[in-house]
């Protein structure tokens, strides 16, 4: 549990990924985003933009830097979560890097789920094109109007009628559903409202072009619509899909969620640490180069201590995330659940604080478009709410502590 080193094969891959990002992805990144800037339809790509991306994807595929996110999968030798955590740190530094190697969320989680619980037909139809990077996907879980941190609160209902699931309900913050390439929604629904708490939900495959799937519009994050990826607001109005579109079986939706959430959360955390590193780097440069009252800002007041605390917290966070990844490797995702919650409750809150301090040292420029800080803050702030708000993860950790000591408090 305390050996937090990459494996030899992991390090080899890590080095190759790092080089690929530097040599192939970094050079096209600015061009890719600049191309899209003045486009008329925010929910599309301009001609040539996707071609640029596909060119790099082809190279990655050719070099075998492709789909390596799948841990311990039957379809490959698998990569340890610990190794992947290090690699996620690299991927987190370039916004296109994950996609170029077909390792971008939420496709990763969706592919992992399909790979593990999909039927041969489901795999053929959806997993194959996803693994090939030909389509994209989304995971429709969160609902407006009630706290979805409580699994019982899924209200989108699916009723079986004549061999078809009829789905009605409303979801929001469905990330990636704005992309024109997004073809399939893995949708969390309530199929057994009277069943036991964790057996009321199912997950159903809903092609995004099914009649009744209404993309209401994008949800904003601190005013940003994140087009064309988008965090979409979607209504399901009598959407009908074949009975066979269910994953794993009725009432097993919660069980599938458990499968996907651990690794995804750790990847997020590792990327967050990359973001914190960037904020600290900006803080240091500003503090070292800007002067006031005849001193570099870094030497004024508490600034040097702020920098010290940021560094200390970053190192502590990194070790915690690596430990959680290792726990998944050693104990399995289920047993490591508490470690994952610890990392998830710990990291984004501190990263937000570090970015905030970087903003402060930048003065007005810190909230402006001249630094990436306000956008970084908005993204990280959202992570404290997504995949379970901090409070739910603290509840998991706190209860586990009580349970280990022989207390089983139930509220």
Q: Give the footprint of its own copies on residues 145-174 (CB under 8 A).
A: 146-150, 153, 172-173
Measured CA to CA, the distance from residue 299 to residue 290 in angstroms comes to: 10
In whole angstroms, the minimum distance from the beta carbon of 110 to its own copies comes to 20
The bridge status of strand 295-296 relative to strand 291-292 is antiparallel
Nearer to its own copies, 179 or 313 (CB): 313
Measured CA to CA, the distance from residue 153 to residue 290 in angstroms comes to: 51
Measured CA to CA, the distance from residue 153 to residue 263 in angstroms comes to: 24
Is residue 40 involved in binding its own copies (CB under 8 A)?
A: no
Tell me, by CB under 8 A, how many residues bind its own copies. Answer: 94
Binding its own copies by CB under 8 A: which of 105, 300, 330, 331?
Answer: 300
Measured CA to CA, the distance from residue 49 to residue 52 in angstroms comes to: 5
- Cα dihedral sign, 36-39-43-44: negative
Nearer to its own copies, 141 or 186 (CB): 141
In whole angstroms, the minimum distance from the beta carbon of 97 to its own copies comes to 23
Q: Which residues pair with 137 in a beta bridge?
A: 184
- Judged by CB under 8 A, the stretch of 43-51, 87-95, 140-148, 237-245 that binds its own copies is 140-148
Q: Give the footprint of its own copies on residues 231-290 (CB under 8 A).
A: 280-281, 284-285, 287-290
Binding its own copies by CB under 8 A: which of 182, 205, 241, 322?
Answer: 322
Cis peptide before 106 (omega within 30 of 0): yes
- Judged by CB under 8 A, the stretch of 26-34, 93-101, 258-266, 313-321 that binds its own copies is 313-321
Is residue 105 involved in binding its own copies (CB under 8 A)?
A: no
Token digits of residue 336:
């490591």
In whole angstroms, the minimum distance from the beta carbon of 61 to its own copies comes to 31
Binding its own copies by CB under 8 A: which of 61, 116, 155, 394?
Answer: 394
Binding its own copies by CB under 8 A: which of 315, 332, 334, 335?
Answer: 315
Span between the terminal Cα atoms of the chain, in Å: 33
Measured CA to CA, the distance from residue 47 to residue 342 in angstroms comes to: 44
Is residue 196 involved in binding its own copies (CB under 8 A)?
A: no
Is residue 301 involved in binding its own copies (CB under 8 A)?
A: yes
Is the distance from CB of 354 to CB of 310 less than 8 angstroms?
Answer: yes
Nearer to its own copies, 33 or 370 (CB): 370
Nearer to its own copies, 34 or 75 (CB): 34
Q: Which residues pair with 201 in a beta bridge?
A: 190
Is residue 391 involved in binding its own copies (CB under 8 A)?
A: yes
CB atoms < 10 A from the CB of 133, how many? 23
Nearer to its own copies, 73 or 395 (CB): 395
Is the distance from CB of 109 to CB of 139 less than 8 angstroms?
Answer: yes
Binding its own copies by CB under 8 A: which of 101, 206, 256, 298?
Answer: 298
Is the distance from CB of 347 to CB of 317 less than 8 angstroms?
Answer: yes
| Alpha carbons within 13 A on the beta-carbon side of 293 | 5
Is residue 42 involved in binding its own copies (CB under 8 A)?
A: no
Measured CA to CA, the distance from residue 188 to residue 195 in angstroms comes to: 16
Is residue 181 involved in binding its own copies (CB under 8 A)?
A: no
Backbone angle region of 172, left / alpha / beta, with phi > 0 → left and psi within -120 to 50 → alpha: beta
Is residue 297 involved in binding its own copies (CB under 8 A)?
A: yes
Binding its own copies by CB under 8 A: which of 105, 215, 299, 331?
Answer: 299
Binding its own copies by CB under 8 A: which of 295, 332, 334, 335?
Answer: 295
Binding its own copies by CB under 8 A: which of 48, 161, 316, 335?
Answer: 316
Which x/- pattern, by CB under 8 A, does the window 345-364 give for its own copies? xx------------xx--xx
- Judged by CB under 8 A, the stretch of 58-66, 87-95, 96-104, 385-393 that binds its own copies is 385-393
Distances (CA, A) of 199 to 51, 151, 157, 190, 256: 44, 10, 14, 9, 11
DSSP structure class, residue 246: B
Is residue 5 involved in binding its own copies (CB under 8 A)?
A: yes
In whole angstroms, the minimum distance from the beta carbon of 257 to its own copies comes to 17
Nearest CA to 70 out of 148, 146, 131 is that of 131
Is residue 401 involved in binding its own copies (CB under 8 A)?
A: yes
Nearer to its own copies, 113 or 307 (CB): 307
Nearer to its own copies, 243 or 391 (CB): 391
| C-alpha angle 243-248-250 in degrees, rounded to nearest 5 | 60
Measured CA to CA, the distance from residue 285 to residue 281 in angstroms comes to: 6
């Amino acid at each position: 549990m305390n050996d937090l080193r990459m494996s030899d094969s992991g390090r080899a891959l890590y080095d190759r990924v790092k080089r690929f990002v530097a040599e192939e992805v970094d050079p096209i990144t600015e061009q890719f985003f600049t191309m899209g800037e003045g486009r008329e339809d925010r929910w599309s790509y301009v001609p040539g933009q996707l071609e640029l991306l596909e060119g790099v994807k082809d190279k990655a595929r050719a070099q075998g830097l492709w789909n390596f996110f799948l841990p311990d999968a039957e379809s490959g030798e698998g990569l340890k979560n610990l190794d992947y955590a290090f690699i996620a740190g690299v991927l987190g530094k370039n916004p296109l890097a994950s996609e170029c190697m077909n390792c971008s969320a939420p496709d990763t989680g969706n592919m992992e789920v399909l790979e593990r619980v999909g039927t041969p037909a489901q795999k053929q139809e959806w997993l194959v094109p996803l693994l090939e990077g030909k389509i994209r996907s989304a995971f429709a879980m969160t609902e407006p109007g009630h706290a979805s941190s409580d699994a019982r609160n899924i209200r989108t209902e699916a009723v079986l009628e004549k061999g078809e699931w009829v789905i009605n309900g409303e979801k929001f913050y469905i990330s990636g559903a704005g992309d024109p390439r997004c073809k399939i929604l893995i949708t969390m629904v309530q199929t057994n409202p009277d069943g036991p708490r964790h057996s009321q939900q199912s997950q159903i495959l809903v092609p995004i072009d099914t009649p009744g799937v209404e993309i209401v519009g994008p949800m904003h994050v601190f005013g940003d619509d994140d087009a064309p990826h988008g965090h979409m607001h979607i209504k399901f109005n009598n959407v009908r899909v074949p009975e066979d579109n269910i994953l794993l079986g009725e009432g097993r939706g919660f069980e599938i969620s458990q499968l996907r959430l651990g690794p995804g959360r750790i990847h997020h955390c590792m990327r967050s640490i990359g973001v914190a590193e960037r904020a600290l780097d900006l803080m240091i440069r500003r503090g070292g180069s800007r002067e006031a009252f005849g001193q570099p800002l870094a030497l004024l007041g508490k600034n040097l201590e702020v920098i010290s605390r940021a560094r200390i917290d970053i190192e502590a966070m990194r070790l915690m995330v690596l430990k959680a990844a290792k726990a998944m490797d050693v104990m399995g995702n289920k047993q490591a659940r508490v470690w994952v919650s610890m990392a998830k409750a710990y990291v984004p809150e501190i990263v937000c604080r570090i970015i905030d301090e970087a903003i402060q040292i930048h003065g007005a420029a810190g909230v402006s478009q001249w630094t990436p800080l306000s956008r970084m803050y908005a993204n990280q702030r959202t992570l404290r709410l997504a995949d379970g708000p901090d409070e739910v993860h603290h509840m998991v950790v706190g209860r586990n502590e009580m349970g280990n000591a022989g207390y089983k408090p139930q509220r």
